[in-house]
Structure formats: structure tokens, C-alpha cells
Structure 1
Amino acid sequence: MAQLMVMLDATVVNIALPEAQQDLGFSDGSRQWVITGLRPGVRQPAAARRPTR
């Protein structure tokens, strides 16, 4: 399930990013930072941030 969510997230970002870039007026270099920041392994999974009991 987690892998599906990662793929879905990446798909949504790839579809929405060009329009967001145009609307917000950031450069291609900044756009690359957004893509890099959303790569699997760069972000911590939500489960890793929850405290354990």
C-alpha cells in the first residue's frame, strides 16, 4: 500500500508541477529541487515519524 501511495504522489506532482511552476513563477532549477525532495528515500515515511509505545 505504501508503494502505491508513493507512486500516486509522484504522478500527481508530475502532472501538477508545470502549472504550479507557471503560476508561482519559479525556475526550472527550483522545479528540480521539488522533484528531488519528493523522491522516495528522501522523505521519511509517515510511520517513521509516529512515536512508538
Structure 2
Amino acid sequence: MTVTVEVTLVDVDRRSLLFEVSARDETASIGSGTHRRAVIDVQKFISRTAGRQRAAV
């Protein structure tokens, strides 16, 4: 059996991306929904989490 997933980028709000997702097999729809992702600055993220790690130790 084959499952097909379709993803469409529907909105970009600065660093936030919103996708619509749907999945179906050969006979019917399996499910659908939305998924939001954020684009981050990796160096800034690592710097912020390093400070929290030191505080937790």
C-alpha cells in the first residue's frame, strides 16, 4: 500500500512558518492538520542554552 503526504507552506510571518499537511492512502484520506516551525539563529540559541546549563550545574 502507498501513502502519499502533501505539504504546503501557507504562511510566513518573519521567522515563523506555517504548513498545511494531508496524508492519504490508495483508498481514503488518513489525516490532515497544520504544523508550525520557527527559524532560529543557531549561534544565539547555543549561547543562551549554555548559560542555562552552567546555572543548572
- With normalisation by structure 2, the TM-score equals 0.25
Q: Which has the higher helix share?
A: 1
Task: Name which structure has the greater RCO, CA cutoff 8 Å, separation 6+.
Answer: 1
- Which structure has the highest strand share of the two? 2
| Rg (Cα) greater in structure | 2
TM-score normalised by structure 1 residue count: 0.26
